[in-house]
Amino acid sequence: MRNVLKTTALTATAAGLALTLAACSSDSGSGSGASADPNKPLVVVASPTPHAQILKFVQDNLAAKAGLKLDVKEVTDYVTPNTSVQDGSADANYFQHQPYLDDFNKKNGTDIVSVETVHLEPLGVYSKKVKSVGELKDGAQVAVPNDATNEGRALKLLAANNVITLKSGAGTTATVQDIATNPKNLKFKELEAAQLPRSLDDVDAAVINGNYALGANLKPATDALVLEKAEGNPYANILAVKKGHESDPRVKKLAELLHSDEVKKYINDNFQGAVIPAF
C-alpha cells in the first residue's frame, strides 16, 4: 500500500494479532469452501467500530440459534485483516469496501473476494477549528487517509463540495497529485486512517472514515461539516474471504445473518445514520 505510516506500536499490534490468529487457526478447522467443518468456529477479523460491534450482535443474538460459532478478532489497521485471510490464519474479514479490496489484491498479489455487501459508512470532513468547509483559510492544513482508495474518495468528497477540483479522469485511486485547482492553497497531510481522529488537534480539518469517526465519539450525522451521499455510493463495506472459500457453509450462514432484519434494525437503532444498511 502507498505511503502507509506504520508506527512501531501498530506494527507490534499487527504482529501480535497475526501470532494469535496463527495459533487459533490450527484448531479453527478451516477447510477450503464446502469442505470446511461447519462445527468449528468461524474466525473473522474486523475493525472495532462498527464491524466488530455488528458481528458481536450476531454472535450474542443470532449465531447460536443458526448453529454458527463465531470467533471475532478486532484489529485497527487496514492490512492485517487481508493478510490473515490470505495466509489462512483467519476465515473471513469484515472491514473494507470493494474498491479498497480491488486495489489491495492488485498491489499484493492476493486473491480475496467479496461474499456480501453489508453496510455503508459515509466519509466526512471534521474540524475543531471551523464550522464549514467554506471557512477554511488560505494555506489551511487538511488531513486525508493515505491508503489508495480512501484518499481518492476523500479528495472526491472535497471536490464535490467545491473545495478543490480534480483532473479529468481522476478515479478511485486519485492522489493529491491529481488535484487540478486548489483555490485556497490547502496543504494536505496524508495519514494512516486510524490516526485521522487524533490529528484534529493539529490540523484545520480532516477527512475521516466513518468507523474511525464513530470510534472517536464523533457523530457523522451531526458533527461532519460535509458527509458523503449514500445514493449510488460504491463504498459499501463487505464480508470477504479467500477465493474458493465462498462456499464454506459457515461463511454462507454468517452472510445470511448479516442480511437479516435483526441486523438491519440493530444498525439503524444504534448508529442513527452514521452507518447505513446496504441490503
Query: 250 lies in a domain?
Result: yes
Is residue 260's pLDDT more than 70? Answer: yes
φ/ψ of 135, rounded to 5, equals -85, -5
- % the chain with pLDDT above 90: 75
Whichever domain contains 42, its CATH number is 3.40.190.10
CB 119 within 8 A of CB 267: yes
Task: Enter the pTM of the model.
Answer: 0.74
- pLDDT tens column, 64-102: 999 999 999 999 999 999 999 999 999 999 999 999 999
Domain boundary among 227, 245, 263: 227
User: Same domain for 62 and 42?
Assistant: yes
Domain boundary among 195, 210, 227: 227
Query: 55 lies in a domain?
Result: yes
Q: 130 lies in which domain range? A: 124-227
CA-CA distance, 126 to 132, in Å (whole number)? 9
- % the chain with pLDDT above 70: 87
User: Same domain for 107 and 155?
Assistant: no
For residue 106, give every residue at least 6 positions away whose Cβ sits within 8 Å of its Cβ, in sequence order, or none: none
Number of domains composing the chain: 2
Q: In 99-204, at which residue ranges do the beta strands (DSSP E only) sit?
A: 112-120, 124-126, 141-145, 165-166, 179-181, 187-191
Is residue 108's pLDDT more than 50? Answer: yes
User: Same domain for 115 and 128?
Assistant: no
Query: 205 lies in a domain?
Result: yes
